[in-house]
């Protein structure tokens, strides 16, 4: 099924001091469908942020794309010139960052920063029109007193308010895809809920790609889920499928680690070990050392991708029952 | 809700900054208005070694020339020299620092290496040699000072740029499609303007000091009045060790040099303090 944004066997890595490329993301394939929200889930160091930076083509200097394509509306983003990429950023694909405290330029006013994006992508607008639209946008993301707030500086806003400003900035051009890289991690829980509400409200216009390690947020607003581990997609499918039938041992581990109110647990379940650094990746399944069901060939051979149902893919050597349409 | 002051309001509440600004403006004005204020001092006067009086507010020198007029015309050339030197230094130094700090890679390395080489050059001897080769003219002196001042400016700009360009708001701006030029000259430059401006005012001050030094050594333009030239003439005439001592002759240019440097430093610090919107509240 072709999507609005598609990763096809995308691989990238980092150049080390000896000039070798250490693979980080390996054969990543998934799609973001038009109008749907995709949650990308995994622990820290799984390559979630590299996924978003790859789309934006904002990878660090020592990153090397090893193969594959990232298609957006049928064009390969990796083949675009710097100029065409700048056209797409902010207009068709926009991004919200994790740290609202450092994502705004401290010496430029809020109004200017939001307006700059608009001016960049719609140069025909007059100054007055831009100001009007920015104030309208500020009102839409729930910033009280937007006329006054327009000329204020970031330090006069709280964390939650800054994240709203970031959302206003990212959505002012009505992007087709909004990427949110752990947008609520730095916020406290009540503000989290408000920001999530706001994002699902704004999502109506386009697709949303949500990077998170909080499965609760995924249930809240996502339609599809991609579970990543150590730079590979281990399981992907619709939210209902994955939540009802988590299959890959890693996904099951993630779900088991969620604290519940219904069971009385003395100690929370944890997946033993931690995500390996990219220099220590195994040739086979990268999760094998932490997997309770690992077999011998798991360590040496890359697991195959198997379809459990039309909307559920898993990459694992274990045998699973096939199901029909979930 | 905290009301934010504009830059201007905050600046004018900073007493030192305003004092510095007044001093700088006064010196600049006397320089610009020199032809109206006093006739260009040349030739010989009739009254030698006059104490400061109504006719000679700062006394007269061994040739009977009005020192007040000399100081006024001196501030003209001093101001001109420091402006030129700053222009040369910032035209090379600021872009060099911004580019080497933002585009790391080989281009940054090359610029950084060049800066290192320039920083190891012994400034004063080189200045003397270049001034001697290029011939005494205040424009030459200004260019030489500028050429030797840009590496420190580039270094400061680069360090500040390195820090700012790693901030998330720069990544955020890039993710919104803002092009590198706008990021570099708007988002980054405004953030590093504080230390850079302070350094520029220091260059202004050191330019005047350097020019005075060169003129004092006889490498300045002998046909143009500058504060250094006045001191040089006073020194040559033995005014510093004479008894009775014509203190007004050497004291006034020295005071003006000090005043100029101090005023520019205060102005620079003041700008730095008020440039950050966070400091504008109290």
pLDDT digits (tens, 9 = 90+) for B58-80: 777 777 777 788 888 888 888 88
Q: How is residue A275 annotated by DSSP?
A: P
CA-based max dimension of chain A: 67
Q: Which of the four pLDDT bands, split at 50, 70 and 90, describes residue B2?
A: very low
Structure token digits, residue B230: 């006045």
Contacts of A145 in chain B (CB under 8 A): 1
- Residue B1 is predicted with a pLDDT of 36
- Residue A135 is predicted with a pLDDT of 94
Instruction: List, in sequence order, the alpha helices (H) in chain B.
Output: 7-13, 15-32, 34-37, 67-102, 105-120, 123-134, 138-165, 168-175, 180-182, 189-216, 227-236, 247-275
Q: 3-state DSSP call for residue B217?
A: coil
Residue of B107, B108, B162, B177 to mutate, testing the A interface (most A Cβ within 10 Å of its Cβ): B177
CA distance, residue B276 to nearest chain A CA (Å): 7
- Domain holding A207, by residue range, is 5-104+157-315
Cβ neighbours of B24 (radius 10 Å): 19
Round to whole Å and give the CA distance between A87 and A34.
20
CA distance, residue A245 to nearest chain B CA (Å): 36
Q: Is the pLDDT of residue B202 over 80?
A: yes
Q: Is the pLDDT of residue A27 over 80?
A: yes
Q: Which residue ranges make up each domain of chain B? A: 7-41+56-280
Residue B177, chain A, CB below 8 Å: the answer is yes
Contacts of A120 in chain B (CB under 8 A): 176-179, 182
Burial grade of B74 (CB within 10 A; 0-12, 13-18, 19 or more):
buried
Structure token digits, residue B145: 């000072």
CA distance, residue B265 to nearest chain A CA (Å): 23
- Residue B3 is predicted with a pLDDT of 47
Superfamily of the domain at B7-41+56-280: MetI-like (1.10.3720.10)
Task: Kindly state whether residue A181 falls inside one of the protein's structural domains.
Answer: yes
Contacts of B171 in chain A (CB under 8 A): 58, 97
Strand order in the sheet with A5-15: A21-32, A5-15, A63-72, A75-76
Q: Give the mean model confidence (pLDDT) for residues A18-40.
A: 89
Facing residue for B277 by CB, picked from A90, A97, A107: A107
Q: 3-state DSSP call for residue B203?
A: helix
Strand order in the sheet with A37-41: A93-96, A177-181, A207-212, A37-41, A224-229, A232-238, A312-315, A305-309
Round to whole Å and give the CA distance between A296 and B80.
81
- Asked if A58 lies within 8 A of B176 by C-beta distance, the reply is no
- Residue A1 is predicted with a pLDDT of 53
Burial grade of B34 (CB within 10 A; 0-12, 13-18, 19 or more):
buried
Q: Which of A289, A292, A288, A217 is nearest to A253 (CA)?
A: A292
- Residue A322 is predicted with a pLDDT of 67
Count structural domains, chain A: 1
Q: 3-state DSSP call for residue A157?
A: coil
Burial grade of B233 (CB within 10 A; 0-12, 13-18, 19 or more):
buried
Q: Is the pLDDT of residue B240 over 60?
A: yes
Task: Kindly state whether residue A70 falls inside one of the protein's structural domains.
Answer: yes
Q: Which of the four pLDDT bands, split at 50, 70 and 90, describes residue B246?
A: confident
Round to whole Å and give the CA distance between A221 and A196.
8
pTM: 0.77
Instruction: List, in sequence order, the alpha helices (H) in chain A.
Output: 48-56, 82-88, 110-121, 127-140, 146-149, 159-171, 189-203, 215-221, 239-244, 249-256
Round to whole Å and give the CA distance between A109 and A163.
15
- Residue A323 is predicted with a pLDDT of 65
Least confident range from A9-18, A93-102, A250-259, A314-323: namely A314-323
Task: Kindly state whether residue A144 falls inside one of the protein's structural domains.
Answer: no
- Residue A134 is predicted with a pLDDT of 94
pLDDT digits (tens, 9 = 90+) for A73-108: 989 999 999 889 999 998 899 998 888 888 899 888
Instruction: List, in sequence order, the alpha helices (H) in A61-126.
Output: 82-88, 110-121
CA contacts within 13 A on the Cβ side of B224 = 22
Q: Give the mean model confidence (pLDDT) for residues B155-171.
A: 90
Q: Give the mean model confidence (pLDDT) for residues A17-34.
A: 89
Contacts of B182 in chain A (CB under 8 A): 116, 120
- Residue A326 is predicted with a pLDDT of 41
**CATH code of residue A93:** 3.40.50.300
| Binding-site residues on chain A for chain B (CB distance < 8 A) | 56, 58, 61, 86-91, 94-95, 97, 99, 102-108, 116-117, 120-121, 145, 148, 151-153, 155-156, 166, 169-170
Q: Which of A1, A29, A5 is nearest to A177 (CA)?
A: A5
Q: 3-state DSSP call for residue A308?
A: strand
CA distance, residue A165 to nearest chain B CA (Å): 12
């Amino acid at each position: 099924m072709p999507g609005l944004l598609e990763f096809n066997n995308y691989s990238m890595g980092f150049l080390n001091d000896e000039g070798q490329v250490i693979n980080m993301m390996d054969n990543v394939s998934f799609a973001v469908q038009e109008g749907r929200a995709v949650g990308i889930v995994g622990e820290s160091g799984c390559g979630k942020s590299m996924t978003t930076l790859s789309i934006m083509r904002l990878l660090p200097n020592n990153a090397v794309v090893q193969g594959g394509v990232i298609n957006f509306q049928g064009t390969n983003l990796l083949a675009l010139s710097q100029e065409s990429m700048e056209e797409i950023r902010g207009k068709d694909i926009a991004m919200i960052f994790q740290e609202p405290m450092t994502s705004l330029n401290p010496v430029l006013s809020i109004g200017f920063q939001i307006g700059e994006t608009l001016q960049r992508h719609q140069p025909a607008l007059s100054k007055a029109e831009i100001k009007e639209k920015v104030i309208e946008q500020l009102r839409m993301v729930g910033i009280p007193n937007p006329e006054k707030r327009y000329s204020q500086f970031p330090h006069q806003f709280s964390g939650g308010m800054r994240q709203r400003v970031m959302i206003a900035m990212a959505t002012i051009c009505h992007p087709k895809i909004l990427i949110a890289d752990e947008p609520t991690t730095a916020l406290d829980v009540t503000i989290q809920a408000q920001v999530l509400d706001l994002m699902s409200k704004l999502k109506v216009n386009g697709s949303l790609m949500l990077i998170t390690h909080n499965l609760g947020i995924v249930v809240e607003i996502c339609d599809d889920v991609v579970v990543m581990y150590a730079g590979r997609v281990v399981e992907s499918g619709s939210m209902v499928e994955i939540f009802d039938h988590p299959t890959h041992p890693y996904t099951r581990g993630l779900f088991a680690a969620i604290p519940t109110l219904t069971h009385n647990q003395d100690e929370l379940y944890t997946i033993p070990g931690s995500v390996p650094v990219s220099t220590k990746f195994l040739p086979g399944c990268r999760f094998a050392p932490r997997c309770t069901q690992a077999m011998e060939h798991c360590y040496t051979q890359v697991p195959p991708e198997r379809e459990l149902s039309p909307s559920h893919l898993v990459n694992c050597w274990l045998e699973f029952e096939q199901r029909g349409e979930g | 809700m905290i009301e934010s002051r504009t830059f201007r309001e905050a600046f004018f509440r900073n007493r030192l900054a305003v004092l510095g600004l007044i001093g700088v403006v006064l010196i600049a004005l006397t320089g610009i208005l020199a032809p109206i204020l006093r006739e260009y001092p040349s030739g010989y006067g009739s009254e030698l070694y006059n104490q400061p009086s109504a006719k000679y507010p700062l006394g007269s020198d061994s040739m009977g020339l009005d020192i007040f007029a000399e100081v006024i015309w001196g501030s003209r050339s001093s101001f001109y020299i420091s402006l030129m030197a700053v222009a040369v230094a910032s035209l090379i130094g600021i872009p060099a620092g911004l580019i080497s700090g933002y585009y790391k890679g080989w281009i940054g390395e090359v610029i950084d290496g060049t800066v290192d080489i320039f920083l190891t050059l012994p400034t004063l001897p080189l200045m003397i040699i270049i001034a001697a080769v290029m011939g005494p003219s205040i424009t030459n002196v200004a260019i030489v000072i500028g050429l030797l001042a840009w590496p420190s400016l580039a270094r400061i700009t680069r360090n500040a740029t390195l820090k700012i360009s790693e901030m998330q708001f720069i990544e955020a701006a890039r993710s919104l499609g803002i092009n590198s030029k706008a990021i570099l000259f708007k988002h980054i430059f405004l953030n590093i303007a504080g230390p850079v401006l302070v350094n520029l005012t220091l260059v202004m001050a050191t330019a005047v000091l350097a020019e005075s030094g060169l003129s004092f050594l006889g490498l300045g333009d002998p046909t143009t009045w500058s504060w250094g030239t006045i001191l040089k003439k006073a020194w040559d005439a033995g005014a510093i060790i004479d008894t009775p001592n014509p203190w007004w002759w050497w004291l006034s240019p020295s005071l003006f040099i000090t005043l100029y440097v101090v005023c520019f430093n205060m102005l620079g610090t003041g700008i730095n303090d008020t440039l950050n919107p966070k400091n504008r509240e109290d």
